[in-house]
Every structure is written in structure tokens, then in C-alpha cells.
Chains A and B, each alone.
Chain A
Amino acid sequence: MKAEEHATRTLEVEGGWQVKLTSYRLGEVYRCTADNVSPGANIARAEGATREEAESKALERAKQLLGRTRRQSIGS
């Protein structure tokens, strides 16, 4: 088995957070991981029968988690 149809794309979601989706097919299943770009930690993973399904699930989970991240005021 090999990762095939490997693809990545980066998008911005609500709150201004960047998300990088990495998707590929392993056998009959599409896999997708979502990372937070900076610092680049994987925060969600999902699978689906199609790339779109896997990406959609991973992105939805990533949005949930990113929505919990609070920005602090760093003004002097």
C-alpha cells in the first residue's frame, strides 16, 4: 500500500486561523490531516470514501478546535 494522489492546500478559516489540509488515498480510503500551519501541528484527522469527504470532516474538526483558541492582548 502506498499513499497516492497526495495533495496539500492551505486555507484560512473563521477567526483568521490558517489550516493546511494534506490528503491522500490509502487503498480504498481517502485520508486527510489538518494542521495549524504555525507551528505546524496536526490537529485533526479524518477519512472518507472521497477526498472531499475526508477533507470536509478534518476541516470541520479543525474549525471546532481552532474556535477554542483565544487571542490575548499583548499591548503595552
Chain B
Amino acid sequence: MADYAHPEVLVSTDWVAQNLNNPSLRIVEVDVDTKAYDEGHIPGAIGWAWNTQLCDTVQRDIIPKAAFESLMGSSGVGNNTTVILYGDNNNWFAAWALWQLKIYGHKDVRLMNGGRKKWLAEGRELTKDAAKVTPATYKAQNADLSIRAFLPQVQEALAKKSADMVDVRSPQEFTGEILAPPGLPETCQRGGHIPGARSIPWAQACNEDGSFKTADQLKTLYANAGISGNRPIIAYCRIGERSSHSWFVLTYLLGYKNVTNYDGSWTEWGNLVGAPVERGAAAAAAS
């Protein structure tokens, strides 16, 4: 992992296995499928539910600061705790959690490379036992919104052509052939992508075992789509979790500056009255 720009934000499954009893760590599983944790998890890991604990459950937003402090404290996470995040779908929502921990200024948070998929495939120890947690006191920093893009910023970037838009959804979602990932509920009125966005599906950043590709491979992947890191980058997907994954890659593995995650994503843009939409793949290929 030494060739990444910030290798300190990534740990291997081996490293986690060797640090299960490290008292300075809190291992947290965050899954798309919120039942996966109950089936069996890394010994000592706790589980966070993305849809109830990592968001505002009334208005659409990330977790509010006070709720975040409460979650961290009740999870036994202090300000100096090292948080190790992992989850299913190659860390989709683990990356979403990491992005929010960064927003609230947590000092040391890392992803387990390969996530739950790699841990299971390697036949490593699992348990159904609940982790022992001693509640802690946690004080979050004010939200750092420099890593988050809101609709007006995206609209301005589109109008001024001042940022590279990276659409990390599947090619079929990008073209507008489907409105949501196959098998999941349709949550937008229109299909397609933000005009000028480049299609770089999140999964292209991963190896078959769920781990990240090398820095050189990632650099080439993005460069081939015209993304070199010399302009601001706005990543988006459908609801912001897959784009958290790509935001992590661009920010920490490639070290690109000024990368933001537009978590409103397609469920916001694809429902906006009057928002420009591009369909098909031609525009992306031509750019």
C-alpha cells in the first residue's frame, strides 16, 4: 500500500487480524445489507446502520453533529480512538461512514482494504457475539464542508465548467437505460447523467477480491477518462455512498486535492425540475 498518496488511511485484513485486541482501536462494520453484521462479524466489531445511524432520519442530510457525538460516544469511540471501518459491497457504506467521520474531524479513521468480502473469502474468524463497549465522551469538530458538494455548487460548476464531474454509477445508470441499480427501487424521475460528466464506475477501482487497485492503475483509470487531478473534482452516484468510495480513492489513494462528494447525487439531480440531463454514452466518450 506504500505507493498510495496516503497509505495511513488503509489497513489490510492481515493487520486487522493481528490487532483484534488492540485497545486503541474500534472496528466498525457498515453494510449496505444491514443484516449482514448479524450473520457474523469480525470479533470485537460493532455495527452501524447507514440508514438509521449515519444520516438525519427526518430531513435528508448527513448525521447531525450532536447525533454523531452520541453515536461515537455510545460506540466507545473517543477523540483519540483509531476507527477501522469495513463493510459489504467493497466498503460502499464504510467509505460513506469514513467521509462523515472526516467531515466531523475525526483524527484517525481507516478502511480495511477489501472489506467484508475479503475477510470472508480468506476464511478469517467471525463471531455473532456482541462487542463489549465502554461508552466514551466524544467532542466533534464543526462540520468541514470542503469535502462535500451541495446542489448550488454543482450547478455553478456545471455553468462555469469549473470542475470535473465524475459519475461513478454503472454504465446503464449513466446512459439512462435504468433509473437505479438493477433490483433496487427507482428513486428518480429521469435517467441519465449531469451534462459533461465522465463515467468511471466505482468498481473499476477494485480488484476481484474487493481490494483497491494499485496507485498506478488508479491513476491510469482516471487519466484515461480525462481526470488528472489538476482541477476540482465532484464525484456523484445515486445517493452518495458509491461516490464516497470514489472520493476516498481520489483523495487518499491518489492524493488529488479539492475532491468533493455530491451526496445529493442522482436522487437529487434526477428529480429536479428543469435540471439539464444528458443521456447515452456519446458525450462522455467524446470528452
What residues of chain A have their CB less than 8 Å away from a CB belonging to chain B? 1-4, 6, 17, 22, 24, 26, 31, 33, 35-36, 38-45, 62, 65-66, 68-72, 74, 76
Contact = CB atoms under 8 A, between A and B. Distances in A.
Contact of B125 (A2, A22, A65): A2
A24 B36 CA distance: 13
The secondary structure that dominates the B interface is loop
A41 B23 CA distance: 33
B123 A71 contact: no
B181 A71 contact: no
B89 A40 contact: yes
A44 B35 CA distance: 11
Interface in B45-96: 88-90, 92
B201 A42 contact: no
A26 B39 contact: yes
Given A1-B40, A2-B124, A43 B184 contact: yes
B225 to A, nearest CB: 17
B8 interface: no
B216 interface: no
Given A26-B40, A39-B242, A72-B176, A2 B181 contact: no
A47 to B, nearest CB: 8
Contacts of B92: 41
B184 A38 contact: no
B244 interface: no
